[in-house]
Structure 1
Amino acid sequence: MKNPRLKVYYLSSCDTCARIMKEVDVAAYPFELQDIKSEKITAAQLDEMARLAALQNPKIPPYESLFSKIAMKYRSMGLNKMTLSESDYRNYILEEYTFLKRPVFIIDDTLYIGNAAKTTAAVAAALQNRK
């Protein structure tokens, strides 16, 4: 384990984030919590998430994998009708916190993105392995 750490990027007003964080028992671990609405994601943080995403799945563009296409602004801004580049995805996430697919967990050097059941199960399993 090169980089022991526990961090979660979440939105405090998001019921899904709250449910997942409770389900995996975030409170039982020394997680660094970052509410992305009150503490904006920095470019360095986003770039680190993208680096980890690229290492885990080199076939999927990393910034796109972090981008939420279900965010209300995705349609209202007409982004769903555009072809976006990795640079576009990065810039939109930095400009608008709701574009980050959430929650994002970093457990050691592994990134877990989003709220899919299999992602939540993987987070729970990774945390169990730390006990």
Structure 2
Amino acid sequence: MKKIYHLSGCSTCKRIIKDLNPGADFILQDIKTDKISEEQLNQMAELSGSYESLFSRRAIKFKELNLKDKDVSEEEYKNLILNEYTFLKRPVVIIGSQIFVGNSKEVVASAIKELHSI
């Protein structure tokens, strides 16, 4: 499977998608208009190792809900992401059995390298 979970209005996601230059065989899912299903999130967590690894601490709601001061369980991370799309660290790029989460230079470079190696 080749898929990118992103926000179409996010300039960072747009830039990364442009850098990746995904082919027509990629599925692009705008998580604002096409919400993530529990099955999709479970698959991402299985590939990444945890729901916490998919969770964005940069989301505005993170501060609003005072989550910084709380001990959040894996189940809570899962429910937070399912209930509020902004909690998903983005973009999430899946290439086969490889997952690349977030927009750090290292993650994007690894995704580009993987994409060009297939």
TM-score (norm 2): 0.97
Identity of aligned residues (%): 45
**Deviation per residue, 1:49-94 (Å, 9 max, x gap):** 001112xxxxxxx100000001111001111121100001000000
Task: Find the counterpart in structure 2 of residue 68 from structure 1.
Answer: 56
1:118 correspondence with 2:118:
no
Q: Report what 1:94 is aligned to.
A: 82
Per-residue CA distance 1:15-72 (angstroms, 9 max, x = gap): 100000001112x341101000000000000000001112xxxxxxx10000000111
Q: Number of residues paired by the alignment? A: 118
Residue aligned with 2:35, SS: coil
1:51 to 46, 53, 78: 46
Matched ranges for 1:4-83 at <5 A: 5-26=1-22, 28-54=23-49, 62-83=50-71
Secondary structure of 1:69's match?
coil
Structure 1, unpaired ranges of 5+:
55-61
Amino acid at match of 1:33: L
Unpaired runs of 5+ residues, structure 2, are none
For 1:95 and 1:37, how far apart are their aligned partners in 2? 11
What SS does the aligned partner of 2:51 have? helix
Provide the C-alpha distance between the structure 1 equivalents of 2:8 and 2:24, rounded to a whole number of angstroms.
Answer: 18
Aligned-residue CA RMSD (Å): 0.8
- TM-score normalised per structure 1: 0.87
**Which portions of structure 1, spanning 4 or more consecutive aligned residues, are displaced by more than 6 angstroms?**
none
